[in-house]
Amino acid sequence: MTLDHTNLVADDVRAVMRAGASKEAIEDAIEVAFLFNVYDRLADAMGWDVPARDSGYYETGARRLLTHGYG
Calculate what percentage of the chain has a pLDDT beyond 70.
Answer: 100
Total-model pTM: 0.63
E strands in 1-71 = none
Name the more confident of 22 and 1: 22
CA distance 13 to 57: 34
CA distance 17 to 25: 9
Cβ–Cβ under 8 Å, residues 41 and 12: no
pLDDT at 57: 93
1 pLDDT band, cuts 50/70/90, is: confident
